[in-house]
Amino acid sequence: MTDADVIVVGAGLAGLAATRELALAGHRVILVDQESEQTLGGQARWSLGGLFLVGTPEQRLAGVRDGHDLALADWLASAGFDEQGQDRWPRRWAEAYVDFASGEKRRHLRSLGVRLALPVMWPERGSGSARGPGNSVPRFHLTWGSGPGIVAAFAGPVLEAAAEGRVSLRFHHRVDGLVTQGGSVTGVRGRLLAPDAATSSAPNSRDTVGDFELRAGCVLAAAGGMGGSEELIHKHWPTERLGPAPEELLIGVPPHVDGRMLSIVAAAGGSVIHLNRMWHYPDGVGHAEPAWPRHGVRVLAGPSPLWLDATGRRLPAPFFPGHDSLGPLGHVIGAGHAHSWLVLTRSMAERELTLSGSDQNTALAERDLRAYLTGLTARVPTSVQTLIRHREDLVVHSTLRGLVDGMNALTPASPLDYARVKREVRARDEQMSRAYSKDFQSMAVRNARAYWPDRLFKVASPHALLDRRHGPLLAVRLRPLTRKTLGGLETDLSARVLRCDGSALDGLFAAGEAAGFGGGGMHGHRALEGTFLGGCVFSGLTAGRAIASALG
Whether residues 182 and 295 share a domain: the answer is no
CATH number of the CATH domain containing 509 = 3.50.50.60
Whether residues 91 and 139 share a domain: the answer is yes
Question: Is 544 in contact with 497 (CB distance < 8 Å)?
Answer: no
Domain boundary among 452, 481, 510: 481
Domain boundary among 461, 481, 501: 481
Question: Is 475 in contact with 247 (CB distance < 8 Å)?
Answer: no
Whether residues 477 and 494 share a domain: the answer is no
Whether residues 46 and 128 share a domain: the answer is yes
Is 394 contained in some domain? Answer: yes
Whether residues 464 and 538 share a domain: the answer is no
Nearest to 79 by CA among 303, 328, 279, 299: 279
Residue span of the structural domain in which 398 resides: 281-481
Alpha helices in 391-520, H assignment, sequence order: 400-410, 418-432, 440-449, 452-453
Is 230 contained in some domain? Answer: no
Is 92 contained in some domain? Answer: yes
Is 142 contained in some domain? Answer: yes
Give the DSSP letter string of 355-387: E-SGGG-HHHHTT-HHHHHHHHT-SS-HHHHHH
Domain boundary among 481, 509, 528: 481
Whether residues 174 and 292 share a domain: the answer is no
* Residues 6 or more apart in contact with residue 375 via CB below 8 angstroms: 361, 363, 381, 382
Is 256 contained in some domain? Answer: no
Q: Rounded to whole angstroms, how far apart are CA atoms 128 and 323?
A: 9
Task: Report the amino acid identity of residue 83.
Answer: E
Whether residues 128 and 144 share a domain: the answer is yes
Q: In whole angstroms, how far apart are CA 1 and each of 169, 216, 363, 398? A: 20, 8, 49, 73
Q: How many domains does the chain have?
A: 2
Q: In whole angstroms, how far apart are CA 83 and each of 60, 80, 272, 519, 524? A: 35, 9, 18, 14, 11
Whether residues 97 and 64 share a domain: the answer is yes
Whether residues 459 and 324 share a domain: the answer is yes
Is 194 contained in some domain? Answer: yes
Q: Determine the pLDDT at residue 200.
A: 56
- Using only the alpha carbons of the chain, give its radius of gyration: 23
Whether residues 346 and 477 share a domain: the answer is yes
Q: Over the chain (552 residues), what is each successive 10-residue block's mean pLDDT?
A: 94 98 97 94 93 98 97 97 91 98 97 95 90 95 95 97 97 97 96 78 78 97 95 94 90 94 97 96 94 94 96 94 92 90 95 90 86 73 72 94 97 96 97 90 94 92 96 96 96 98 97 97 95 96 97 90
Is 242 contained in some domain? Answer: no
Whether residues 339 and 448 share a domain: the answer is yes
Whether residues 492 and 462 share a domain: the answer is no
Is 413 contained in some domain? Answer: yes
Nearest to 120 by CA among 443, 477, 452, 377: 452
CATH number of the CATH domain containing 325 = 3.90.700
* Residues 6 or more apart in contact with residue 80 via CB below 8 angstroms: 133, 524, 525, 526
